[in-house]
């Protein structure tokens, strides 16, 4: 079993490090060890089972799969980062607009009350501001 592990580590040592590489290496190792145990249960000798397992490992296929997975992972990561950046910009805009909305609403209410003595109907400005807050939240 140590020979299988060494052989597979040697194959994957040329790949760039990362989570994808570790996952693929673990998968190939697990499948190879299962195949080895199966061959041993069939009555094969240790050397014969190891030889068959090593023969069945298609290094070129592993390299192609790794390249495909790496490209898919890279594209997903870039798309995910882009979506995250857009969401951050929207959230920053929401915070700025909210930070402006409520002080302006309060100042407008106080000005309407002190300058025009519109205290009673002026409270409606807070209802209107809450509608604007809902619109801001939809951005």
**pTM of the full predicted structure?**
0.48
With cut-offs at 50, 70 and 90, classify the pLDDT of residue 81: low
- Convert the pLDDT of each residue in 84-133 to its tens digit: 778 888 889 999 999 999 999 999 999 999 999 999 888 999 999 999 99
What letter does residue 82 receive in the DSSP assignment?
H
CA distance to 9, 69, 71, 77, 138, per residue, from 22 (Å): 10, 12, 16, 17, 41
72: pLDDT strictly greater than 80:
no
Q: Which residue has the higher pLDDT, 1 or 44?
A: 44
The burial class, CB within 10 Å (0-12 / 13-18 / 19+), for 17 is exposed
């Amino acid at each position: 079993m140590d020979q299988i592990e060494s052989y597979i580590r040697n194959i994957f040592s040329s790949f760039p490090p990362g989570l994808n590489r570790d996952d693929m290496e673990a998968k190939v190792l697990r499948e190879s060890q299962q195949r080895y145990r199966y061959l041993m249960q069939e009555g094969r000798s240790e050397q014969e089972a190891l030889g068959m397992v090593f023969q069945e490992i298609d290094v070129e296929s592993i390299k192609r799969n790794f390249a495909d997975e790496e490209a898919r992972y890279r594209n997903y990561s870039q798309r995910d980062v882009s979506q995250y950046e857009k969401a951050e910009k929207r959230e920053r805009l929401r915070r700025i607009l909210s930070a402006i909305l409520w002080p302006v609403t309060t100042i407008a209410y106080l000005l309407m009350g002190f300058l025009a003595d519109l205290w009673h109907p002026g409270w409606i400005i807070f209802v209107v501001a809450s509608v604007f807050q809902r619109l801001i939240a939809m951005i």
